[in-house]
Structure 1
Amino acid sequence: MNGVKIEGVSIQWLGNSGFLLEGDGKKIYIDPYQIGEEPAFDDKADILLITHEHFDHCSPEDIRKVRRSDSTTIVPESCSLEFRGDARRVAEGDILADGLEIKGVRIEVVPAYNLDKPNHPRGLGVGYIVELGGLRIYHAGDTDFIPEMETISTDVALLPVGGTYTMNEEEAARAAAVISPNSVIPMHYGSEGIEGDPERFKTLVHSKNPDINVIILDS
């Protein structure tokens, strides 16, 4: 399956770190990349969230496919891509405490960075917590297992597991155990140079906390 419905909210994995969240009559795209055919107008984004400027997260071609003229786009301050229409630039500390409400959807901006890799220095990108249909969904962005994850409160966690540029399966399983969501969905694996094993991640998560529901989606 490439999607799952949790408490009335649909979560579809688009591949890499891309997701489409649907609930409360809203469609929220996060880091769309290589999505194929352009969606119909009614299936395009009410809100578009970009975690950082790397090509497989901030893809102009895919952004053009999913954006409408009235879409609201959130991008990190470091992102050099210029957007037309309704766009807002954020940094990790901007709205940590109170959150931001866009079209009735509450969004929090949280840190995302590498500890021992050069790819994602602190300040390059962010993660997001989206409140939709009464569900809190955490998209970690490209990140290692960072101390700030101890303060994350979420029902669903979307965590990278591919290693190389982010957490590997073991690190992501430790992150899942600390965050302790009801459900966790692995992402950022299966593309060239990123060979993470979601089944290994699932086994590792359950060895630490068997109560966490690990959902493996197909892109």
Structure 2
Amino acid sequence: MTIRHDTLTVRWLGYATARIDDETVVYTDPGRYGVLTGEWRAPDGVDTRHPAGPAYDARDGDLVLVTHDHHYDPDGIRRVAAPGATLVVYEGVDAERAGRPPSPESLAEREGYDLIRIGERESVEAAGVPIRSLPAYNDPEGPHTRPDGSVVHPEGFGVGYRFELGDIPVFWPGDSDVLPFHADLDVSLLLANISGSVCMDRHEAADLAETLDPDLVCPIHYDTQSFLAADSRAFAADVAACGVPVVLDEGWE
């Protein structure tokens, strides 16, 4: 399904992959778990309308944003990136550690992409789009720690992105808890991460939406696997009850 927000068109393609278009086409974290190859299947016991379509191979993206190891997928990037696209990849992404070669540098060289390795707090312009990276992590004193006190996403492991497309500020927080500096962001479109077990859950994301008061909230990154299950309808109801517009982009057509 395609959502329209001001001059933008927005589509959730599964997992953390969103396509945002306003003449310039931006993709967030493309691929993994078969969401772009047509092989994704709903996990057992999860009642979901997560997108499940045929193989996707548009290769129309001017800009591709990658937040961290877990969302780095060279095949996914190839499926969305246009010839000569610009990849903005967090400097901490390590293809060998992720188990998905080649490295961003090798991929860009082979495919003819431009590559920008971005730091944890950095502003760049890529494909004409102003981009700001922001830390994305689990607070070790927060609600998403393991029994041994460790976290899936330690500080320094990944980032989120705030970018402006057609002068409309979009925020994809990546795999993160709600963090104090989020409250200071000017956001029109919030791509909310509501999957809970490894990042902010639907309640925390709804509180963030109330704080940011964006013009539209669209949740992504949920129900892809059983450990990412979330009640998207309850999330939408909570956000709407705060007076914030919200839409669910579920299904394929």
| TM-score with structure 2 setting the length | 0.77
- Report the aligned-residue RMSD: 1.5
Task: Please list, as runs of the form range in 1=range in 2, the aligned pairs for 1:208-219 lying within 5 A after superposition.
Answer: 209-210=242-243, 212-219=244-251
Task: Tell me which residue corresponds to 1:88.
Answer: 116
1:44-81 CA-partner distances (Å, limit 9, x unpaired): 21111001111xx1112211222234111011111013
What is the CA–CA distance in structure 2 between the aligned matches of 1:58 and 1:122, rounded to whole Å?
A: 18
Query: Structure 1: 5+ residue runs without aligned partners?
Result: none
1:108-145 CA-partner distances (Å, limit 9, x unpaired): 11221111331111111111112112211111111111
Q: 1:39 aligns with which of 52, 57, 63?
A: 57
Residue 40 of structure 1: CA displacement? Answer: 4.0
1:137-184 CA-partner distances (Å, limit 9, x unpaired): 111111111111111111010111111111111111111111111111
Task: Tell me which residue corresponds to 1:19.
Answer: 18
What is the CA–CA distance in structure 2 between the aligned matches of 1:123 and 1:179, rounded to whole Å?
A: 24
Task: Please list, as runs of the form range in 1=range in 2, the aligned pairs for 1:30-179 lying within 5 A after superposition.
Answer: 30-33=28-31, 34-36=35-37, 37-41=55-59, 44-54=60-70, 57-81=71-95, 82-83=103-104, 84=108, 85-95=113-123, 100-115=124-139, 116=142, 117=145, 118-179=151-212
Residue 38 of structure 1: CA displacement? Answer: 4.2
Q: Which has the higher contact order (CA 8 A, sep 6+)?
A: 2
What is the CA–CA distance in structure 2 between the aligned matches of 1:143 and 1:119, rounded to whole Å?
A: 10
What is the CA–CA distance in structure 2 between the aligned matches of 1:67 and 1:202, rounded to whole Å?
A: 31
What is the CA–CA distance in structure 2 between the aligned matches of 1:3 and 1:218, rounded to whole Å?
A: 10
| TM-score with structure 1 setting the length | 0.89
What is the CA–CA distance in structure 2 between the aligned matches of 1:31 and 1:178, rounded to whole Å?
A: 25
The answer on whether the counterparts of 2:121 and 2:132 sit within 8 Å (CA) in structure 1 is: no
**Structure 2 residue identity aligned to 1:154:** V
The answer on whether the counterparts of 1:137 and 1:157 sit within 8 Å (CA) in structure 2 is: yes
What is the CA–CA distance in structure 1 between the aligned matches of 2:188 and 2:66, rounded to whole Å?
A: 21
What is the CA–CA distance in structure 1 between the aligned matches of 2:164 and 2:5, rounded to whole Å?
A: 13
Query: Structure 2: 5+ residue runs without aligned partners?
Result: 38-54, 96-102, 146-150
Q: Answer with 1 or 2: which has the greater Rg.
A: 2
SS in 1 for 2:57: coil
The answer on whether the counterparts of 1:111 and 1:148 sit within 8 Å (CA) in structure 2 is: no
**Structure 1 residue identity aligned to 2:72:** C
What is the CA–CA distance in structure 2 between the aligned matches of 1:74 and 1:144, rounded to whole Å?
A: 22
The answer on whether the counterparts of 1:91 and 1:123 sit within 8 Å (CA) in structure 2 is: no
